[in-house]
Structure 1
Amino acid sequence: MVDADQYLDNDEQTVVILMTSGPSTPNRCATPFYLGSIFAAMDVEVHIFFTMEGVRLMERGVAEGLRAMEGGKRIIEFIRDAKRAGVTLHVCQPALPGYRIDEASGLIEEVDRVARASELADLVLRCDKVISF
């Protein structure tokens, strides 16, 4: 059996969650925020980086109408839970034009940074774990 306390000893841990899933696969859209919230509650620095179709989750109006399962919480609620827990949300700037999302007015207020791929590379190189959805 794994002792959860062993993961709390290192206050320098960083996790990057790479989110490429979006509205076409709603059943994959809640878990990254849920896990991110758990990691953040364990004093882990958590970054979720949205690219490919994942950027659509950060588009105004999309997460508000999306659920991972029928009758479940809306994805925007999972996003807000993650933000309250301290998760940082990054959106891949080069992916935005392909989905016709305006960087200045088309993103939800929960987005922390609009970033280039070089920032993702930096996050990956300095983190302890990368998880991909």
Structure 2
Amino acid sequence: MAERLAILVWAADPAAPHLCATPFYFAAAAAAMDVEVEMYFTARSVELLVDGVAETLYADGGGVAETERRTVAGFLREAHRFGVRMYACPAALQAHGVNAATLRTEVSGQAGAAAFIGRTLDAGWRTLSF
């Protein structure tokens, strides 16, 4: 059984916050099971990694009492606490005008399509896509 998981995050668009927490939730769950987890952010999903953006997004869509609402940043920090490594695609950063200097401290670095494809071709890794 593979104990390594690479997650491609491309459809978690900040304009649709109800879609943004799930990749972090699955990453944290896998890491809690002692799985090595890497997340690769591309397309508009790289904007979730900009310092301050995830704090403005609520995962629940607003149907929950204010005191029980969780921001996407809370899910992101939880995944990071479990050891999940997060990578921003350099091409996506450029395409969306994101300066790498504005990325959150939880971001491990930059890695793009070749890095993720390398994981998909390695029999020791499983993949998910959000």
Q: TM-score, normalised by structure 1?
A: 0.85
Question: Structure 1 counterpart of 2:19, which letter?
Answer: R
CA RMSD of aligned residues (A): 1.4
Q: Distance in 2 between matches of 1:125 and 1:82?
A: 24
Work out the percentage of aligned pairs sharing the same amino acid.
Answer: 36
Residue number among 31, 47, 50 corresponding to 1:40 in the alignment: 31
Residue number among 77, 91, 94 corresponding to 1:94 in the alignment: 91
Q: Distance in 1 between matches of 2:104 and 2:97?
A: 15
Task: For structure 2, list consecutive stretches of 5 or more residues without a partner in the other structure.
Answer: none
Which residue is equivalent to 1:82? 79
Residue number among 1, 8, 11 corresponding to 1:18 in the alignment: 8
Mean CA deviation greater in 76-85 or 108-117: 108-117
Task: For structure 1, list consecutive stretches of 5 or more residues without a partner in the other structure.
Answer: 1-9
Q: Distance in 1 between matches of 2:117 and 2:93?
A: 18
1:48-71 Cα offsets, whole Å, 9 max, x none, are 110011101001221011111224
SS state of the match for residue 130, structure 1?
strand
Residue number among 105, 124, 131 corresponding to 2:128 in the alignment: 131
Q: CA deviation at 1:129?
A: 2.1
